[in-house]
Structure 1
């Protein structure tokens, strides 16, 4: 069994509670693992220098050495170590920079046992797969081939990161990179996806066909595969295209996309402008290409986005959504889900008519508006449901992959919030019914269990909700009502004390007398004489 494999795991987080919780979860899930807890990146690095580590789970923000510095060191010095990034929603965009350092998984705080298990299971599977591959290939040939490929990959990766090795550029196989050229990033989806409004990913055969077309169009290209995004169905590759102008690259890729779309193969590409020396300016070219690739957000059927044509869009502000926000307020106040969905559809249609601003601006504008609406509904939703809904909204917007999906997510979240509000309203009505039942059955058995059964609540839950409503523990509330009834009956009737006790739920008149005296410091008889109305 995979769970029985001994792996060495390091957890790094400067927050003691978070570190201890994650460490304890891993211990319970995988008792065979050796789990080491560290409070900063320096401690992790020291541990790795003593003995190899299989998996590192690290937070981003830590003292001494933060998570980003740590994963960069691991990437360069311990390439076999699998890295998992611990992230909060507000750090998500920042954390994406970790992809280039082979961070293959991530966990969003707060931790859930199921998510930790799922992530570690994937990493274990990858470790096992790599181990099996290494055994099946000739050891010495594998080492030689991998060394050469890794050297080429590192050189090209360093170059697009701005670390120029001038001497290597002079080598014959890289000499073309000294000439003019263009950088491109292509993006495609592979396999199945369950996300809203996202087309099915490409099969292995379709991916092979895509690469065949790209290779045919650009025989001199240098291709640098990139680590997957946090969404594992997303694939990217950087193309360095010497002796190709940006206009030529755009024309070729647009033709390629049009041809492949006939076979349901779609991809997206972001292009830099033409650089006079592609190798020297590779990092600048890559930045431009990445900025342009972001516009895939608006196009579900693939697209080519060129810096020469689109860079001016970067500064266009998002259109005001205040009108739609006010309409959403009204729809939520009136609990009109259909109207809420209509407003979101109208907002989407209005924004589509505008010049398209930079995708991250659009995503931030809409997600911020919906999260603010959710926060305004906090007091109308049960606290546990509200916390879950808010955390879900952060994660869903962080992983949002398209313009269509942005608005589908917004409908889904507001719809769930409105349903939760309805549930709380119904529960409040049930609490009112419960209080009415108690007041009209003071002569009966009013044990907490019996009353809870009446409204189909758990006794502990009912007790807590009643205390929120009336400010008293359940037993104190019932006794208070019975004593109030007793005083009215003593003043307004000539009934016997024993009969009054029964009507107030006391079948032992002596016990009734003791409880009455404890509440009013006199006996029922004395109270009647002092307060009798006739």
Structure 2
């Protein structure tokens, strides 16, 4: 016979047989064991022994005689029903007295069997009770499962309800539910915990692990706030990395309100330590009627959270402390891209200190909304890049602009130091592009300058006129010329003229004064003096080396 329930699980019952007659007790116990060897069958000789066994274990089924010493069957059955209300009771007796039967029915006795007992009757009873117990167990499992599901869904429904309420979409019955949920009206505030990875640009934690962290934060927040009053925690639909709670203080909680930041800091520190994340807590303004003023309560908690952008040290920020430094608009001189131009065009040194000073001038003593600050810095950088497009290659400008658009986002830039670092890196990249193009441009100009000198050696070449011809300031042109040739202008021109003159002397029969004029010397004596200083020989002596190679420089 199949002894499994509907789910295929083996049905094992705890059965107690109670009878003061040993022979009757053993016969019944053996019949039950023969029916199913897996049943655990216990025996007791009277009601007191039976109750002692009941105290040690749960019972599924009790077969009992009525008339027994010390405690009769009906008294025992009444006590068992109080302790184990789900136990099934079967009376096995040699008496068919109506009064016993009436009391038995009152005690929810399942069946009344008259002695002598028959195998078929016992087996029929066991089959019947076995099926009933199986159905009850299955129903209980389904009820427990449903209760567990409801328990899991209750926070989700609460989230749905609160978020719908905050968006102004609740129906009248739903508003009644919200008021009951908050235990409204009453004094309270909003508290928001924002969770973020230390490096927002790093590979994201997988969704399952991140949800587990959020639930841990929610559970911890709910437990902590319970000592201050009634609280409703929820996951914000507006910020998927935030856990929020609406806290309605009890009178005792109001008296302990000063402890709230300290307790929240402990929670944030523990979450940061165990989960390896950055945790920021914002405490909103206290409102006399949290239900009525919930929107302002949440906005003030969000404003407190934004203080973390400017101050990285603490974990917890309160609206009351942050409000005096809050500013709706940026305070510093505008537009900033004009202040950054000297840094990227090499007119002022570009350094971390210079960037910090620029941001300090922009912020002043106040703390604007970080999103507004990021938007402004992004727009100013893009304007600066746009202004440099006539100098740097278009594809390089496009790539740098895309980087600015991608990186200067609230999800990536979470604190001021990150903004400072990115701003410095962007300015350095733009400065390097500009300098590279300048170096390339200067190289082309200097090559043209040298071509001009080589082509006009016989003419008077003035350094001032040369720098003017190529649109350079004389001082900068001098530095650039030496950087390009490795030699100052005058020295380069003298060597070029003398070496060109020697080449002409060796390869032509031109007279010395003709050669001097050809390379730009009008005074032959001065030419001879410079030539001798360079080669250690006069021009005529140098010509004699025509077939013997070039004389040693300087002698």
TM-score by length of 1: 0.45
Which is greater in Rg?
2
